[in-house]
Chains A and B, each alone.
Chain A
Amino acid sequence: MEQRGAHISFSHVGLVYDDGAEDTEALHDLSFEAQPGEAIALIGPSGCGKSTTLHLTAGLLASTTGEVAVNGNRVGHPRQETAFIAQDLGLFPWKTVLQNAALGLVIRKVPKREAYDRAHAALDQVGLSGFDRSYPKELSGGMKQRLALARALAMDADLLLMDEPLSAVDALLRESLQDLLLDLWKDRGHTQMLVTHSIEEAVYLGRRILVFSERPATLVADVSNPQMGEDGWRDSAAFAAKCHEVRSALAQGGEGRAR
């Protein structure tokens, strides 16, 4: 399943929410680019607009000013080749594991047989084979994360967007899921954008780490992280040093004041 990832560009993007009574500025003049196959981690204070950035990239929101483009095309609505994993994973309790995994394809009108075959393969890839007929409530937290990932993989996306998908699992399980994400990214070569609250996760999974300021979000730092993905990276001194670098950048951006 070797394929190239998508190119993302944000140019002078601003977003103002109309809350009825007053307008809230979520993003202010945000510009950055992601090269095909890059793994980007977005980190910043709570409510700073990280998720908003992800929603804009997914085509779930439209910017007020500026332009968001994927592969050179302005994003106006969800793209066929973008997979999005929300914080609550967006699984449907009334669908079986297989139906959940195949849903993206079914909606895209892929013939049912092919959709289920591809969903099967994706479930295998994340280690969920044999659970086809189970319902989400019968799965553990970690298995649900895998299922959400399988749905994204089945769609054969060139862009994978994740909004804190691992925030609800315990530390060890979290590390094993991070390894899974890393392996899949290395294997498939898609572009990946991950929103996270965890500095370690950002450094482990982001080849580039974009640090956001408090709302309205602007880019505080763009930390390159070329050693990400190397064997033993998590336990190396360089990893700890990179975490320190990101932490300092976050403090500059305002999280330091909040704590």
Chain B
Amino acid sequence: MRRRTPAWLRVVGYVFAVVFIIAGWWITAELLITFAHTNVLPTPLETFNVLFEYSSALVPYFWTSAYRVVVSLLIGTVLAVPVAHLCARSRTLDALFAPVLYLLYPIPKVVLLPILLVLLGLADAPKIVLISLTVFFQVLVAVRDAVKAVPESSVLAIRSLGGSRFDEYRHVVVPATMPAVFTSLRIGIGTAIAVLFIAEAMAGSTGLGYFIMQSWSMVNYPRMFAGIIAMALMGVALYAIFDVVERLLTRWR
């Protein structure tokens, strides 16, 4: 039996984390200024001002990037979950699919970007396809393993109650694998944003990735850093949202 961490302790944890990160950041920035004589890493105070200064310029880039990540996460998951279930429940399909999966999973999907750019242009499509593809494989592997780990006795219990195949999914397989979906999504957010950055930095003139690289080429480090912070905040926000949804959907854990 696992006890839940009390709410106040979680708040203290978050406050500590924020203080820890800001302190580390501040010290690093001051060290770079003192010993390397460079302001490539602005201090937290400067950044706060810069973020405020560039906030109106950042907003459209932020939403473009957020849109791409969220849509891709949804597409990747919605496609991966049914395929994962099919693979896990059918020996024939799994025998056919498993080798394909093992060969394709380790390939960093991001190397397909140039091909996607040629095929799909420079707008949203290649980015969404690329991130969806990355998320798809992560969710697929995690959920397939989770479905395989569903205890046979739970399925038997449903069958003994006169349940159909649909009932098995509704009452056992889907709820039992829900935690795996969320775990893979939370891990997926990090990868998705990394792939997004590369895709936006390489092609097109929209999104935070472009904003950051454009600032870099203009040697406007404060502006660049505002973009980096915005991207980090996007990751934190998505992570927090998934965390809350997961808690609501898997209260039994």
Contacts and interface: CB of A to CB of B under 8 A. Distances in A.
Contacts of B1: 137-138
Interface string B211-253: 0000000000000000000000000000000000000001111
A80 B160 contact: no
Contact of A90 (B157, B162, B167): B157
Contacts, number: 62
Interface stretch (B63-71, B84-92, B128-136, B169-177): B169-177
Interface residues of A, number: 26
Contact of A107 (B162, B176, B178): B162
* Chain A interface, DSSP helix/strand/loop, else mixed: loop
B252 A93 contact: yes
Contact of B153 (A90, A96, A108): A90
Interface string B155-192: 01111111100010001100110100000000000000
**Interface residues of B toward A: which range?**
20 to 34
B165 to A, nearest CB: 12
Nearest to B178: A94
Given A86-B153, A90-B153, A107 B252 contact: no
Contact of B162 (A80, A94, A137): A80
A78 B153 contact: no
A90 B171 CA distance: 12
Interface in A151-177: 155
Interface string A77-108: 11110101010101111111000000110011
Q: Among A60, A94, A136, find the residue whose CB has the most chain B CB atoms closer than 10 A.
A: A94
Contact of A94 (B157, B160, B161, B252): B252
Interface of B: 1, 151, 153-154, 156-163, 167, 171-172, 175-176, 178, 250-253
